[in-house]
């Protein structure tokens, strides 16, 4: 697909400097882009590449002043990075629209309802009473269990597994290998030391505009629903346990684990490899550093936390500074102990 500078400027509401008829057919990093590529410059550290790049069209900030003349056509916008992201999304959507139809072989239960302009790749399984909206893209080896409902324009990448009764909203993206609706980790200890499984009878609800990374697991609720609310973005390799609720427009980085029945507020940011215990709540706007351990509820909004156990970020940074000095402080303590012992001996000698 080819796009002219004129078309691109219309999409991102930019102002053209140069030839509006210049066309590009792909994207490239500014330091590597060729004549048929679109590039952008958002970080001033890469400004030198602006004068050496071969890119055909470059998106830059509207306030940026040029030091030299350049041959590329420029499109000036308020935010070059965001505008470039918008264009990549647009390009991706245009490519996805070309995928329509049902490949062979697939299994679609006769009771399933399939919307318009849907793409279903080979080796997918669509179970009993499944409902799939319009413009949905289902890639190879996806499993969709009975009574699951999927909204419009949702994308399920290869190998996604949706157990029964999942509810997936509109404009959701779920990446390869992710499992939604597997059993929560519920086992009742018995007097003889064994464990009896607690049936997991709830479901998983994913609201609109959620993106879930690859190989993430979100367990079904014991009763009720495990809920990921609208606009939330989840990274790869997350474990979200039964009956967890993640609030709107939150972001969670890779390898984080959230234990059962924890409620996370809106606009929460959680760094990689954080661990959160069960049956607590996290207030809106909380920022949790990577590797942080949360063992109790966070009730104050917009708090920044770090460390194991978690503490205020400023306190954690001070504690880390002291921790780095522990070998030095230990050495000084030993020297002081020796000095005190010598002074004690001298005092005893004088007193005797």
Residue 305 backbone dihedrals phi, psi, to 5 degrees:
-130, 150
Cα 165–chain centre separation: 24
pLDDT at 39 over 90: yes
Domain boundaries, the chain: 3-97, 101-314, 322-352
Report the share of the chain in percent with pLDDT over 70: 100
Q: Which of 157, 175, 209, 242 is catalytic?
A: 242
CA-CA distance, 162 to 149, in Å (whole number)?
10
Pairing state between β 293-294 and 167-168: unpaired
CA-CA distance, 294 to 276, in Å (whole number)?
5
Closest-CA residue to 5 (of 50, 29, 31, 36): 36
Cα 349–chain centre separation: 70
Residue 49 backbone dihedrals phi, psi, to 5 degrees:
-70, -20
C-beta of residue 329 within 8 angstroms of C-beta of residue 310: no
* Per-residue pLDDT reduced to its tens digit, 283-338: 999 999 999 999 999 999 999 999 887 888 788 888 878 888 889 989 999 999 99
Q: Looking at domain 3-97, which of 2.60.290.11, 3.40.190.170, 3.40.1390.10, 3.60.20.30 is its CATH number?
A: 3.40.1390.10
C-beta of residue 50 within 8 angstroms of C-beta of residue 29: no
Q: Annotated catalytic, 242?
A: yes
Closest-CA residue to 80 (of 61, 66, 63): 61
Tokens of 251: 């972001």
pLDDT the model gives residue 216: 98
pLDDT the model gives residue 95: 79
pLDDT the model gives residue 331: 92
Tally the C-alpha atoms within 13 A of residue 154's C-alpha that lie toward its C-beta: 25
CA-CA distance, 21 to 145, in Å (whole number)?
49
Residue 294 backbone dihedrals phi, psi, to 5 degrees:
-105, 115
C-beta of residue 218 within 8 angstroms of C-beta of residue 181: yes
Q: What 3-state class would DSSP assign to 60?
A: strand
Homologous superfamily, domain 101-314: Hexapeptide repeat proteins (2.160.10.10)
pLDDT the model gives residue 78: 96
Give the residue ranges of DSSP H helices in the chain: 5-12, 80-97, 313-324, 326-351
Tell me which residue has tokens 């499993």: 143
* Per-residue pLDDT reduced to its tens digit, 326-350: 899 899 999 999 999 999 888 888 8
Lowest mean pLDDT among 91-95, 138-142, 203-207, 256-260: 91-95
Residues 139-153 have a mean pLDDT of 98
Residues 260-265 have a mean pLDDT of 98
Instruction: Classify 14 in phi/psi space as left (phi over 0), alpha (psi -120 to 50) or beta.
Output: beta
Residues 251-256 have a mean pLDDT of 98
Asked if the bond preceding 105 is cis, omega within 30° of 0, the reply is yes
Cross-strand partners of 224: none
* Per-residue pLDDT reduced to its tens digit, 154-184: 999 999 999 999 999 999 999 999 999 999 9
* Per-residue pLDDT reduced to its tens digit, 85-139: 999 988 888 877 778 999 999 999 999 999 999 999 999 999 999 999 999 999 9
**Of residues 52 and 323, more confidently modeled:** 52
CA-CA distance, 2 to 304, in Å (whole number)?
45
Average pLDDT for the chain: 95
Q: Which helix (H) or strand (E) holds 174?
A: strand 173-174
Tokens of 264: 């996370």
CA-CA distance, 197 to 299, in Å (whole number)?
33
pLDDT the model gives residue 59: 98
- Residue 27's CB is within 10 A of a number of other CB atoms, namely 15
pTM of the model: 0.83
- Residue 352's CB is within 10 A of a number of other CB atoms, namely 5
The reply to whether domains 3-97 and 101-314 share a CATH topology is no
């Amino acid at each position: 697909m080819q796009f002219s500078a004129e078309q691109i400027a219309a999409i991102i509401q930019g102002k053209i400097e140069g030839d509006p008829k210049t066309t590009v057919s792909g994207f490239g990093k500014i330091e590597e882009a060729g004549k048929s590529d679109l590039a952008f410059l958002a970080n001033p550290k890469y400004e030198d590449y602006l004068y050496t790049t071969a890119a055909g069209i470059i998106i830059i900030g509207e306030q940026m002043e040029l030091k030299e003349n350049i041959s590329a056509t420029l499109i000036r916008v308020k935010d070059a990075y965001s505008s470039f992201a918008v264009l990549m999304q647009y390009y991706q959507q245009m490519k996805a629209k070309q995928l329509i139809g049902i490949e062979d072989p697939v299994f679609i239960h006769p009771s399933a309802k399939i919307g318009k302009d849907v793409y279903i790749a080979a080796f997918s399984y669509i179970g009993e009473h499944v409902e799939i909206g319009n413009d949905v893209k289902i890639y190879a080896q996806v499993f969709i269990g009975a009574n699951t409902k999927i909204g419009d324009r949702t994308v399920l990448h290869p190998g996604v597994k949706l157990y029964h009764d999942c509810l997936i909203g509109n404009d959701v993206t779920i990446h390869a290998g992710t499992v939604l609706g597997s059993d929560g980790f519920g086992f009742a200890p018995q007097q003889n030391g064994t464990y009896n499984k607690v049936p997991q009878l709830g479901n998983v609800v994913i609201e609109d505009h959620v993106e879930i990374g690859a190989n993430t697991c979100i367990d079904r609720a014991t009763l009720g629903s495990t809920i990921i609310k609208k606009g939330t973005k989840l990274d790869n390799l997350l474990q979200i346990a039964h009956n967890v609720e993640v609030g709107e427009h939150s972001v969670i980085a890779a390898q984080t684990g959230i234990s059962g029945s924890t409620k996370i507020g809106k606009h929460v940011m959680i760094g990689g490899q954080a661990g959160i215990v069960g049956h607590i709540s996290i207030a809106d706007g909380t920022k949790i550093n990577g590797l942080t351990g949360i063992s109790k509820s966070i009730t104050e909004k917009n708090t920044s936390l770090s460390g194991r156990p978690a503490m205020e970020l400023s306190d954690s940074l001070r504690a880390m500074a002291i921790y780095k000095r522990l070998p030095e402080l230990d050495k000084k303590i030993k020297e002081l102990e020796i000095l005190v012992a010598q002074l004690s001996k001298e005092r005893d000698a004088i007193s005797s």
